[in-house]
Chains A and B, each alone.
Chain A
């Protein structure tokens, strides 16, 4: 969302919410990042940036794009995705004028928090205690990517759609986003659910499947997944 679509009573709270989230995400990365993952972290941040440059046209003349942060969340952990996606969004905003300064907190909340956490936990829920190469994990990664981006779009639609309710001039004219929830939420959800989230699903499933099959040790929680997926051996037989 560019500058001007959200009023201060909306964009300031998102900045305030994001500050502790960024702080904790940085701490998490310091504690949990492994030496072997360093090149993949760099790759993930670069990937986030370039995938967002693929604008997809949809019927009605609008465009949009995937974000790639569900994939980063599943492979490097949702907190790592908070960091890589936020910094990619920062570069977009500061260098290329894409996404506002005032709305930066809200944009990070939608794309660097909602997508990674909804994406990862949906994947983890569907995957259960299966092995890293199990089909359920692949399905989970796809469903997580779709739900993450689609819900993030709904959040953005909600943030814009409440503007004509909470920010109007004394004459009743909208000061920021002029369209209400009945228009913004369906518009954002439609474009994402049927188009951009599909792109998100494809990149997530392809890359996750490749990594899980070829070098699962890159994946942040592969040890926990391995331990949990071991068949339980009765004590007497062990």
Chain B
């Protein structure tokens, strides 16, 4: 394996290992409040907002952090989400890339 690629891959894996750090921040991102949070912020739930809730139910909401209440349980869920996301995107783009370049001579690479 190419050394630069291998090192970048190691950095990516380190990011995956550190990913539970991402759940320490418990607040809600600006402009991503749920209906109950809007209710307590402004005293009502905007009608248009309410009508667009429940449009779609994701299979793993909140990146798998809401199935357990303990920090360890949440971390495991978050790990699983990271592994699914990273694995899916990595494999998908590897296949897409292979398909897009399959008839290329790639003279630039040997230059």
Across chains A and B, which 3 residue pairs bring their CB atoms closest together, nearest first?
A: A97-B58, A175-B48, A38-B97
CA distance A40 to B52 in the complex (A): 38
Least Cβ distance of B32 to chain A in Å?
A: 5
CA distance A56 to B18 in the complex (A): 13
A207 at interface, CB cutoff 8 A: yes
> Which of A46, A50, A87, A184 interacts with B31 by CB under 8 Å?
A184
A7 touching B86 in the complex, CB below 8 Å, given contacts A40-B5, A45-B92, A215-B2 = no
CA distance A7 to B46 in the complex (A): 11
- Of A27-35, A119-127, A228-236, the segment with at least 4 beta carbons within 8 Å of chain B is A27-35
CA distance A218 to B102 in the complex (A): 18
Q: Are B90 and A42 in contact (CB under 8 A)?
A: yes
Chain A residues near B29: list those with CB within 8 A. Answer: 55, 62-65
Chain A residues near B42: list those with CB within 8 A. Answer: 178
Q: Are A95 and B55 in contact (CB under 8 A)?
A: no
B68 at interface, CB cutoff 8 A: no
Size of the chain A interface, CB-CB below 8 angstroms: 74
> Which of B18, B32, B58 interacts with A95 by CB under 8 Å?
B58
Q: Are A54 and B21 in contact (CB under 8 A)?
A: yes
Chain A residues near B90: list those with CB within 8 A. Answer: 42-43, 45-46
CA distance A13 to B72 in the complex (A): 42
Q: A96-B60, A96-B61 are in contact. List 7 more A-B contacts (CB 8 A).
A: A30-B100, A46-B93, A47-B12, A50-B82, A55-B24, A65-B29, A177-B49
A34 touching B101 in the complex, CB below 8 Å, given contacts A4-B53, A53-B63 = yes
Q: Are A1 and B31 in contact (CB under 8 A)?
A: yes
Least Cβ distance of B108 to chain A in Å?
A: 6
Least Cβ distance of A29 to chain B in Å?
A: 6
B84 at interface, CB cutoff 8 A: yes
Chain B residues near A61: list those with CB within 8 A. Answer: 27
CA distance A61 to B30 in the complex (A): 9
Interface residues of B in 64-96 (CB under 8 A from A): 64, 78, 81-82, 84-94, 96
Interface residues of A in 52-95 (CB under 8 A from B): 53-57, 61-65, 84, 87-88, 91-95
Q: Are A4 and B94 in contact (CB under 8 A)?
A: no
Chain A residues near B62: list those with CB within 8 A. Answer: 96-97
Least Cβ distance of A46 to chain B in Å?
A: 4
CA distance A167 to B47 in the complex (A): 11
Least Cβ distance of B64 to chain A in Å?
A: 8
Q: Are B25 and A57 in contact (CB under 8 A)?
A: yes
Chain A residues near B5: list those with CB within 8 A. Answer: 39-40, 43
Could you show 15 A-B contacts with beta carbons less than 8 Å apart? A2-B32, A3-B55, A33-B97, A41-B93, A43-B5, A45-B89, A46-B86, A49-B86, A53-B82, A62-B27, A62-B28, A63-B28, A88-B89, A95-B58, A96-B60
